[in-house]
Structure 1
Amino acid sequence: MMELRHLRYFCAVAEELNLTNAAKKLFIAQPPLTRQIKQLEEEIGVILFDRHPRGLTLTPAGQYFWQHAKQILSKVSVTIEDTRRVAQSGKTVFGIGFVPSVFYGQFPTMVRRLRQNTNAEVILYELKTRDQLDALKAGKIDIGLGRIYINDPEIEQSILFQEPMLVAMHKEHPLAAKTLTMAELAKLPMILYPAGQSPNFADICIDLFARNGLDVRIAQQVNDIQTALALVAAEMGVALVPQQVNRLTRDDVVFVQLEDKTITSPVICSRRKEPYNDIMQTATAILDELVEKQKSERSS
């Protein structure tokens, strides 16, 4: 019968692709590890590894099993950790993942009200949207707030609202006192964020130019919005940012409006496809109320 140790052994071998190294990592001898992997393959009825003289490679079935085995082990680890938290605090753990650019709007109000109105231990995780989906499936978080739509059969995503985009530029920039067109913006060196795996917010920005038949002059790509604004302050370029970011106060950076008001970025809520518990229902109701408030403030 398959046990958690089989998954741990398999994941260690999948990471190392070498039985000797994996055995050292697991602090066991190589022959028992080889037997455990063989037993796992026999129980599943598929070959997980192709054996070569100099090591191993994962078969397509092995690749698939590895992705899901990691999620299972992660969920077990999170469940144990959360169980300990519940025992210590008497509260239910509710994890929220978020991208930094949503933190400057209504998000802190949601967290505060959720803590006030439920018996929840709210844990916050700064995660990119793709990482939020992995965290949702692993049980690390219960809800994610991001900006990228990623099709996943286990996750439901809904657009909360479309947020206008602004241009962050140095306060002494010659164009800082006017409303900008995309054509004017395309002539300026652009600082994009975040760097790393697509899809991400940088892709949204590049797509905005592409839809207008324009190219982007990328000066630099950085990991986060704070670094992007620091480079703007250093006059190394300009950055497209969601409107909520203008709540950040910097003496050397101003936020300039775009002439085209249809240029926006979505704020997307991600959840697991499962029935809502009481805390999720409360969180959803608070989110809906805050979104309606934001929409009415924008239209007034």
Structure 2
Amino acid sequence: MLVDLRALGYFVAAFEERSVTAAARRCFVAQPSISMAIKGLEEALGTVLFERSRSGLAPTPAGERLYPRACSLLAQSTAMVRDFRDSPRATLGLYLQDDVLVHTAAPLIALLDQHLPGATLRLTASMEEAQLGLVAESCKRATDVFVPLWREPYVMLVPESHPLRFRKGFAWDDLQGMPLIERPYCPQQQSFARLLAERGVVPDVRASAAREELLLHMVELGLGLAIVPASHAHHARRTVVRPLEAGPIAFERHLGLACAAHDGPTRAMLEPLAAGMRARLPQALAA
């Protein structure tokens, strides 16, 4: 019976991490994938590889014997692929929408490395230059295939020292004269500015950010408040989050993976990549 190389990779991760949870995080998969792989190896080899307890995994003598052999097989497999790859190295253009945090895209980059070993990943400035994009549904091209990942609302991010931190929520009138930090790169910015103008609401724009990471730091420093996707607030220190009241002010975004409909190879990767991304989502988004 042939041994699954992917299962061996999961075994090595579990052996080195001594934890199913840590191994799943390292491999960017759900915990059951690690447990099932180990169980399958144990059944195929007719032995127990780990002793399981609340404190984690402890390799058995059989697990200790398998570990160096598994590492050797995985190394040989990688070397064999490289040796037989005569064609030029593949290149994949990846577009990250400007209001997508690098932290959010990290699992996708790791998954692409697994799906396209040895390929060169090139981050592009636009979707037109890319084969794959992590974008909001409202920003995909009309001819793109879109696989959704998660939906989340926009919230108000307030410096922890700002007097407005005590407000329970924000409505349109509350934005009049409010010290806001502008997000010109956000796809929702134009719609938001238009709605403000229609209602005669004029905020006090204190700064304009070039990317989301910079904007979060500006809020932390107390330069002003900002309306951001809810998941981004988890990466801002010294801030508090307040909801936007229901109604026209309540924005949300639907993020997902997109590629041109005619791009068969990239299109074939969308669902597996999306499944891997969903397994890594924070619990609040996954729900």
TM-score range, shorter chain: 0.5 to 0.7
- The equivalences for 1:70-219 within 5 A come to 91-103=89-101, 106-119=104-117, 121-125=119-123, 127=125, 131-132=126-127, 134-135=128-129, 141-147=130-136, 149-150=138-139, 152=141, 154-157=143-146, 160-183=149-172, 185-187=174-176, 188-194=178-184, 200-206=187-193, 209=196, 213=199, 215-219=201-205
Letter in 2 for 1:95: G
Flag the 1:200–1:299 CA change in 2: closer, same or farther, 3 A.
closer
Change in 2 beyond 3 A, CA 1:248/1:206? same
Work out the percentage of aligned pairs sharing the same amino acid: 15
* 2:281 corresponds to 1:287: no
Give the superposition deviation at 1:228: 2.5
Alignment equivalent of 2:242, drawn from 236, 242, 256: 256
Contact kept, 8 Å, 2:159 with 2:225, in 1: the verdict is yes
Aligned to 2:31: none
Structure 1 segments (4+ residues) deviating >6 Å = none
- CA contact under 8 A between 1:149 and 1:157: conserved in structure 2? no
Q: Distance in 2 between matches of 1:208 and 1:163?
A: 20
1:184 positional shift = 5.4
**In structure 2, what is the equivalent of residue 237 of structure 1?**
224
Secondary structure of the corresponding residue to residue 123 of structure 2: strand
1:61 corresponding residue in structure 2? none
Amino acid at match of 2:152: E
State the 1:160 CA deviation: 4.0
Q: Give the SS at the match of 2:264.
A: coil
Q: Residue 204 of structure 1: CA displacement? A: 4.3
Structure 1 residue 124, shift from structure 2 partner: 4.4
Contact 2:168/2:242 (8 A) holds in 1: yes
Distance 1:247 1:178 in 2: 19
SS for the counterpart of 1:102 is: coil
Cα deviation 1:258-286 (Å, max 9, x = unaligned): 34395312325331121421x54234322
- 8 Å Cα contact 1:183/1:214 also seen in 2: no
Q: 1:224 aligns with which of 200, 205, 211?
A: 211
* Corresponding residue for residue 234 of structure 2: 247
CA displacement, residues 53-104 of structure 1 (integer Å, 9 cap, x when unaligned): xxxxxxxxxxxxxxxxxxxxxxxxxxxxxxxxxx899642222110253235
Q: Is contact 2:170–2:242 with CA below 8 Å preserved after alignment?
A: no
Q: Is the 8 A contact 1:158 1:269 kept in 2?
A: yes
Please tell me whether the aligned partners of residues 186 and 214 of structure 1 are also in contact (alpha carbons under 8 angstroms). no
Contact kept, 8 Å, 1:91 with 1:119, in 2: the verdict is no
Q: CA deviation at 1:214?
A: 6.2
Which range moved further: 239-248 or 261-270? 261-270
Q: 2: CA distance between counterparts of 1:126 and 1:240? A: 26
1:249/1:238 CA distance change after superposition, 3 Å: closer
The amino acid that maps onto 2:168 is: T
Q: Give 5+ residue unaligned stretches, structure 1.
A: 1-86, 136-140
Change (3 A) 1:297 1:244: closer
- 8 Å Cα contact 2:157/2:225 also seen in 1: yes
Matches within 5 A, 1:16-31: none
CA distance in 2, matches of 1:107, 1:294: 11
Q: Distance in 1 between matches of 2:283 and 2:213?
A: 29
Answer whether contact 2:149 2:277 (CA < 8 A) is retained. no
Measure the CA separation in 2 of the matches of 1:190 and 1:283: 37
For normalisation by structure 1, the TM-score amounts to 0.53
Shift of residue 186, structure 1, vs aligned partner: 1.4
